Chains A and B, each alone.
Chain A
Amino acid sequence: MSDELKLIAAAKAGSADAFADLVRAYRVRLLRFLLTRSPSYADAEDVLQDTLIAAYRYLHSYDPRWRFSTWLYRIAIRNAAKLRGPDLVEIGDLRDEENDPLQQCIADSETDNLWVSARQLLNDEVYSAMWLRYAEDMSVNDISKALDRSASWTKVNLMRGRRVLETHLNGAAQQSEAYG
Chain B
Amino acid sequence: MRYTIFSFMLLPAVLAWFLLPVGTGLASDLDPFAGMRGSIRIAGGTAHIPVMKAVAREIMSVNPQIRISIAGGGSGLGIRQVGEGLIDIGNAGRKPTEQEIARYGLVLFRWAIDGVAAIVHPQNRIRSLSSAQLQAIYGGRITNWKEVGGVDRAINLYTRDESSGTRKVFWKKGLNRGKIVKRANVVVSNGAMKTAIAHDPFGLGYVSVGHIDSSVAPVTLDGVKPSLQNVQSGRYPVARGLYSLTRGRPAGLVKRFLDFLYTPTGQEIIAGSGFIPVQ
Q: Do they bind each other?
A: no
